[in-house]
């Protein structure tokens, strides 16, 4: 026990003495969290709208001002012929073209039905889909309103109750605030990076400069060495997580519904896994450069397939299966579930069990591979 | 008195791929002995020491340290030995004191408790105890490394080229420390590429290309030198070598600083050939070849001469 205590003390001495590493460990993640959370926003505003009004009636103008008045669209131009719309799309001056046919108002009043054309620039699929979705929302709202007006004018006695309207309510994130959604995920990535990189690099560095040889001839036991290496980074990872939570609360005002201790408990298992991965990488690399590249390779896959940047449900089935092996996925899910939804231990028991088994497996492999005889 | 053996090595073989680092090395080191492993770079010194220090497993053969098989008892051995690798391997970003405390605690002891063991070595370092190990001079680094290797009162020390790259004054100091350690009964096994350090050892093993050429006391090795040795000097050293190599009764000629060391086929030490006559004949030959300022003197061989002689014998033997 005393040996481990001294080894941990030694690691902390080295970490705090390393003037180059200290800012990387404590300041970089803060900057990353603040920058990424603000940058990674899937909400799209100010879509360029090109409006073709062949009708030039009161109703068509009403629709135009409704579109223009919504936050989503910015009227980038208007024209009178379909050709104008096509040109605007070609020149990338429009994300969406709405075409109102001539006789729009007349037909709508007389026949109670009318069609308008939406042309969406779908070069960026997400943007295109959103433009389409937003436009439909505005148009259906417009539809509701004019119908109410008609009824009021015509007094046709249609009961207002036979009109059904679907309303959405987003649970756990009522405003669909992307920061609420992103910040817990980014936090997980930062903790993962710190854990995996620091542990892999640290041991390989000892190999590189030869200090491991002096340790290897001592009667130090495997478990003592490994605990002495993993414990400091486990502590650092938790400190990192705490800093992240404080920023999430203070800067982004992210709701914290569930138990913070549950997250810390899960974080300990998760960090053990990540640190074990670093340890494992360090057992078959000789230089910090090699360790860096291999760690990067794993992390890029973990991060991009973690469900933060692409929803796992949107991936092809084979890719979804791969994410079952991705620890980042589990931690992101758990943090979101506990923070935003207030999930309890029973809700995350499978996540915890999988990550726990994973941690045992990776660390077991790493300990097996770590040879004291160099 | 029968002295017990601290190290027994029997027919040790170690290969790195197709490279044969050790080709069947056997030797014995007595307890309390200052034993030198002498040989040029690449001779296999480091490999041998790393096997004994339980850092490397041999491919074949036996190695015992303090009566224990290296492979099976590495943990017990590690508790009772000290090891100083060839490259400075302490934490450069920790201070002198922190390094010592770390290694003391790893061996379940404290600096205060075992201060007396390293007092002689550590005292000159003490004023710098709060300096980072990386900022020490080469000589001080070696003292710190030796202190760390001694902190747990080992019975045997393995030192891999401790004086390589250290200034001559620090080298002498370091050897004085080793001799003091030996006086305390600690077995010291030290490797070095410097032949002149052999004289300071009780016994030495001369190694070359993974093989032991000879194991004996320095005096005995020198006494077995097969022939009379002459130191020869003239104005044109390069021409002198060429002319001596062409001389019919030359056994060997090597450059040794400003002199050439020359042995004569006719002058085996056992025969007690007339030295004067040989010298005169040689002088005449060189003069005829146009050399000026010729100095020829009969000298006592050093370990390095012996090493050269062994190497030459080895080569002749393995030539066909």
pLDDT tops 60 at residue B122 = yes
pLDDT (mean) for A360-369? 89
Would you say residue A169 lies in a domain?
A: no
Judge whether B55 is closer than 8 Å to chain A, CB to CB: yes
State the average pLDDT for chain B.
Answer: 86
- To the nearest whole angstrom, how far is the Cα of A211 from the nearest Cα of chain B? 4
What is B5-222's CATH topology?
Rossmann fold (3.40.50)
Sort out which chain A residues have CB atoms less than 8 A from B98's CB and list them. Answer: 10, 13
A216 and A272 share a domain?
A: yes
- To the nearest whole angstrom, how far is the Cα of A18 from the nearest Cα of chain B? 8
A206 and A293 share a domain?
A: yes
Mutate to test the interface with A, among B89, B98, B135 (most CBs of A within 10 A): B89
Return the pLDDT at A140: 83
- Give me the sheet containing B259-268, strands edge to edge: B250-256, B259-268, B227-233, B295-299
- Cα–Cα dist A305/A316, whole Å: 12
Residue in B55, B93, B105 closest to A6 by CB: B105
pLDDT tops 50 at residue B2 = no
Would you say residue A171 lies in a domain?
A: no
Cross-chain residue pair A211–B106, CB shorter than 8 Å: no
The string of pLDDT tens digits covering residues A267-317 is: 999 999 999 999 899 888 989 999 999 999 999 999 888 888 777 887 888
Q: Residue B204 — pLDDT band, cuts 50, 70, 90? A: very high
Cross-chain residue pair A219–B105, CB shorter than 8 Å: no
pLDDT (mean) for B15-36? 91
Return the pLDDT at A10: 92
The string of pLDDT tens digits covering residues A47-59 is: 888 888 888 888 8
- Cα–Cα dist B307/B320, whole Å: 21
Highest mean pLDDT: which range of A174-183, A210-219, B244-253, B268-277: A210-219
Q: Residue A175 — pLDDT band, cuts 50, 70, 90? A: low
Sort out which chain B residues have CB atoms less than 8 A from A210's CB and list them. Answer: 85, 87-89
pLDDT (mean) for A364-372? 79
CA-closest candidate to residue A228, choices A9, A10, A16, A8: A8
pLDDT tops 90 at residue A133 = no
Would you say residue A131 lies in a domain?
A: yes
A330 and A352 share a domain?
A: yes
Q: Residue A371 — pLDDT band, cuts 50, 70, 90? A: low
Cross-chain residue pair B85–A213, CB shorter than 8 Å: yes
Sort out which chain B residues have CB atoms less than 8 A from A18's CB and list them. Answer: 93
Judge whether B78 is closer than 8 Å to chain A, CB to CB: yes
pLDDT tops 90 at residue B286 = no
Judge whether B53 is closer than 8 Å to chain A, CB to CB: yes
Return the pLDDT at B3: 55
A27 and A62 share a domain?
A: no
List, as own/partner pairs, every contact residues B240-246 make where C-beta atoms lie below 8 angstroms and the sequence separation is at least 24, other chains included.
B240/B286, B240/B291, B243/B285, B243/B286, B243/B289, B243/B291, B244/B286
Sort out which chain A residues have CB atoms less than 8 A from B46's CB and list them. Answer: none
- To the nearest whole angstrom, how far is the Cα of B54 from the nearest Cα of chain A? 7
Return the pLDDT at B188: 95
Return the pLDDT at B273: 56
Sort out which chain A residues have CB atoms less than 8 A from B89's CB and list them. Answer: 209-211, 213-214
Hey, what are A201's tokens? 């690099």
Q: Residue A156 — pLDDT band, cuts 50, 70, 90? A: low
Return the pLDDT at A164: 53
Residue in A10, A13, A216 closest to B55 by CB: A216
SS (H, E, C) B51-106: HHCCCCCCCEEEEEECCEECCCCHHHHHHHEEEECCCCCCCCCCEHHHHHHHHHHH
pLDDT (mean) for B43-58? 91
Would you say residue A167 lies in a domain?
A: no
pLDDT tops 70 at residue B105 = yes
A219 and A361 share a domain?
A: yes
Cross-chain residue pair B107–A215, CB shorter than 8 Å: no
CA-to-CA dists, residue A256 to A261, A328, B33, B84, B306, angstroms: 12, 20, 70, 55, 81
- Cα–Cα dist A47/A124, whole Å: 12
Q: Is the pTM of this model over 0.90?
A: no
- Cα–Cα dist B156/B151, whole Å: 12
A130 and A245 share a domain?
A: no
Would you say residue A219 lies in a domain?
A: yes
Q: A236: burial class by Cβ within 10 Å (0-12, 13-18, 19+)?
A: buried
Q: Residue A160 — pLDDT band, cuts 50, 70, 90? A: very low
pLDDT tops 70 at residue A46 = yes
Sort out which chain A residues have CB atoms less than 8 A from B106's CB and list them. Answer: 3, 6-7, 215, 218-220
A133 and A215 share a domain?
A: no
Cross-chain residue pair A214–B148, CB shorter than 8 Å: yes
pLDDT tops 60 at residue A364 = yes
**Domain around A233:** 2-40+176-369
Cross-chain residue pair A210–B81, CB shorter than 8 Å: no
Judge whether A106 is closer than 8 Å to chain B, CB to CB: no
Mutate to test the interface with A, among B100, B102, B141 (most CBs of A within 10 A): B102
CA-to-CA dists, residue A196 to A201, A277, A367, B276, angstroms: 8, 7, 16, 77
Domain ranges of chain B: 5-222, 226-300
Structural domains in chain A (count)? 2
Cross-chain residue pair B89–A374, CB shorter than 8 Å: no
Judge whether A286 is closer than 8 Å to chain B, CB to CB: no
pLDDT (mean) for B148-153? 92
- Report helix, strand or coil for B199: helix
CA-closest candidate to residue B4, choices B26, B27, B33, B25: B33
A209 and A328 share a domain?
A: yes
The 10 Å CB-count burial string (b at 16+, else e) for B256-295 is: beebbbbbbeebeeeeeeeeeebbeebeebbeebebeebe
- Cα–Cα dist B102/B111, whole Å: 9
Return the pLDDT at A43: 63
pLDDT tops 60 at residue B61 = yes
- To the nearest whole angstrom, how far is the Cα of A223 from the nearest Cα of chain B? 13
A209 and A277 share a domain?
A: yes
Query: Could you say which of A162, A190, A211 is where a domain stops?
Result: A162
- To the nearest whole angstrom, how far is the Cα of B55 from the nearest Cα of chain A? 5
C-beta separation of B52 from B65 below 8 A: yes
Farthest CA pair distance, chain A: 97
Sort out which chain B residues have CB atoms less than 8 A from A214's CB and list them. Answer: 83, 85, 89-90, 103, 148
Return the pLDDT at B161: 92
CA-closest candidate to residue B131, choices B100, B87, B110, B109: B100
Report the 10 Å Cβ neighbour count for B304.
17
Return the pLDDT at A373: 47
Lowest mean pLDDT among A27-41, A159-173, A213-227, A252-266: A159-173
Residue of B nearest to A209 (CA): B89
Return the pLDDT at A295: 93
pLDDT (mean) for B77-81? 92
Would you say residue A168 lies in a domain?
A: no
A217 and A293 share a domain?
A: yes
Return the pLDDT at A161: 44
Higher per-residue confidence, B205 vs A48: B205
Mutate to test the interface with B, among A219, A223, A224, A374 (most CBs of B within 10 A): A219
CATH of the domain at A69: 3.40.1710.10
Q: Which of residues 194-253 of A touch B (CB under 8 A)?
A: 209-211, 213-220
Return the pLDDT at A342: 87
User: What values do phi and psi take at A283, rounded to 5?
Assistant: -75, -25
- Report helix, strand or coil for A59: helix
Q: A130: burial class by Cβ within 10 Å (0-12, 13-18, 19+)?
A: buried
- Cα–Cα dist A345/A259, whole Å: 9
Residue of A nearest to B52 (CA): A217
Which 8-state DSSP code applies to residue B24?
Answer: E
Q: Which of residues 82-141 of B touch A (CB under 8 A)?
A: 83, 85, 87-94, 98, 101-103, 105-108
Could you tell me which residues are beta bridge partners of residue B69? B64
Q: What percent of chain A stands above pLDDT 70? A: 90
- To the nearest whole angstrom, how far is the Cα of A228 from the nearest Cα of chain B? 12
Would you say residue A374 lies in a domain?
A: no
pLDDT tops 70 at residue A76 = yes
Would you say residue A273 lies in a domain?
A: yes
Return the pLDDT at B320: 33
Q: What percent of chain B stands above pLDDT 70? A: 94
- Report helix, strand or coil for B165: coil
Cross-chain residue pair B89–A214, CB shorter than 8 Å: yes
Sort out which chain A residues have CB atoms less than 8 A from B148's CB and list them. Answer: 214
- To the nearest whole angstrom, how far is the Cα of B244 from the nearest Cα of chain A? 47
Cross-chain residue pair B98–A374, CB shorter than 8 Å: no
Sort out which chain A residues have CB atoms less than 8 A from B85's CB and list them. Answer: 210, 213-214
Q: What percent of chain A stands above pLDDT 90? A: 21
Hey, what are A20's tokens? 């180059």
Higher per-residue confidence, A116 vs B52: B52
Mutate to test the interface with A, among B59, B68, B91 (most CBs of A within 10 A): B91
- Report helix, strand or coil for A46: coil
Which 8-state DSSP code applies to residue B198?
Answer: G
The CATH number of the structural domain formed by B226-300 is 3.30.70
Beta strands in chain A (DSSP E): 47-53, 73-79, 96-100, 117-120
C-beta separation of A127 from A44 below 8 A: yes
Could you tell me which residues are beta bridge partners of residue A87? none
- Cα–Cα dist A97/A88, whole Å: 8
Return the pLDDT at A92: 82
Cross-chain residue pair A14–B83, CB shorter than 8 Å: no
A32 and A134 share a domain?
A: no
A58 and A75 share a domain?
A: yes
Residue in A7, A211, A219 closest to B75 by CB: A219
User: In this structure, what is the dihedral angle of CA atoms B197, B199, B203, B205, given to the nearest 10 degrees?
Assistant: 50
Return the pLDDT at A146: 79
pLDDT tops 90 at residue B94 = yes
Q: Residue A162 — pLDDT band, cuts 50, 70, 90? A: very low
């Amino acid at each position: 026990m005393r040996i481990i205590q001294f080894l941990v003390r030694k690691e902390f001495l080295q970490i705090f003495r390393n003037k180059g590493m200290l800012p990387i460990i404590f300041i970089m993640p803060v900057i990353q969290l603040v920058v990424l959370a603000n940058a990674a926003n899937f909400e799209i505003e100010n879509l360029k709208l090109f409006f073709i009004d062949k009708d030039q009636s009161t109703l068509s103008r009403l629709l135009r001002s409704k579109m223009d008045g919504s936050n989503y669209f910015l009227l980038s131009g208007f024209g009178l012929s379909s050709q104008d719309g096509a040109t605007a799309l070609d020149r990338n001056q429009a994300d969406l073209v709405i075409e109102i046919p001539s006789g729009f108002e007349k037909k709508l009043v007389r026949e109670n039905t009318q069609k308008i054309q939406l042309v969406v620039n779908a070069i960026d699929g997400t943007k295109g889909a959103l433009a389409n979705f937003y436009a439909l929302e505005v148009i259906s709202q417009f539809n509701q309103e004019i119908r109410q007006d008609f009824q009021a004018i015509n007094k046709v006695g249609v009961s207002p109750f036979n009109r059904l309207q679907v309303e959405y309510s987003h649970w756990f994130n009522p405003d669909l605030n992307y920061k609420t959604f992103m910040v817990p995920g980014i936090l997980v990535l930062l903790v993962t990076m710190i854990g995996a990189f620091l542990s892999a690099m640290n041991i390989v560095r000892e190999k590189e400069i030869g200090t491991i040889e002096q340790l290897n001839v001592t009667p130090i036991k495997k478990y003592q060495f490994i605990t002495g290496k993993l414990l400091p980074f486990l502590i650092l990872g938790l400190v990192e997580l705490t800093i992240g939570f404080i920023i999430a609360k203070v800067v982004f005002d992210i709701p914290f519904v569930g138990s913070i201790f549950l997250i810390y408990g899960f974080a300990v298992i998760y960090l053990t896994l990540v640190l074990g991965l670093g340890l494992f990488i360090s057992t078959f690399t000789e230089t910090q450069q090699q360790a860096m590249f291999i760690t990067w390779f794993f992390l890029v896959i973990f991060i991009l397939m973690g469900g933060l940047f692409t929803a796992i449900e949107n991936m092809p089935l084979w890719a979804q299966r791969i994410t079952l092996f991705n620890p980042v996925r589990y931690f992101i899910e758990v943090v979101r579930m506990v923070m935003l939804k207030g999930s309890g231990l029973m809700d995350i028991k499978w996540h915890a069990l999988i990550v726990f088994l994973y941690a045992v497996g990776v660390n077991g492999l790493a300990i097996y591979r770590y040879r004291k005889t160099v | 008195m029968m002295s017990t053996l601290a190290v027994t090595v029997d027919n040790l073989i170690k290969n790195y791929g197709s490279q044969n680092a050790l080709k069947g090395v056997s030797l014995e080191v007595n307890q309390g002995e200052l034993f030198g492993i002498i040989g040029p770079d690449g001779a296999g010194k480091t490999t041998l020491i790393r096997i004994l220090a339980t850092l490397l497993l041999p491919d074949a053969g036996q190695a015992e340290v303090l009566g224990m098989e290296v492979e099976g008892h590495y943990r017990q051995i590690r508790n009772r030995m000290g090891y100083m690798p060839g490259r400075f391997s302490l934490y450069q970003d920790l201070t002198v004191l922190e390094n010592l405390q770390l290694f003391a605690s790893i061996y379940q002891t404290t600096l205060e408790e075992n201060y007396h063991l390293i007092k002689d070595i550590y005292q000159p370092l003490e004023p710098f105890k709060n300096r980072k190990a990386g900022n020490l001079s080469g000589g001080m680094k070696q003292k710190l490394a030796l202190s760390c290797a001694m902190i747990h009162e080992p019975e045997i020390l393995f030192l891999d080229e401790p004086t390589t790259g250290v200034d001559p004054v620090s080298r002498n100091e370091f050897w004085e420390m080793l001799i003091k350690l030996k006086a305390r009964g600690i077995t010291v096994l030290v490797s070095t590429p410097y032949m002149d350090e052999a004289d300071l050892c009780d016994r030495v093993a001369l190694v070359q290309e993974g093989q032991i050429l000879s194991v004996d006391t320095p005096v005995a090795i020198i006494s077995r030198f097969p022939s009379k040795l002459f130191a020869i000097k003239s104005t044109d050293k390069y021409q002198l070598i060429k002319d001596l190599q062409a001389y019919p009764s030359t056994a060997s000629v090597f450059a040794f600083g400003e002199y050439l060391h020359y042995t004569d086929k006719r002058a085996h030490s056992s025969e007690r050939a007339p030295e004067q006559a040989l010298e005169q004949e040689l002088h005449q030959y060189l003069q005829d070849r146009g050399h000026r300022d010729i100095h020829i003197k009969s000298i006592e061989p050093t370990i390095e001469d012996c090493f050269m002689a062994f190497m030459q014998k080895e080569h002749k033997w393995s030539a066909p």
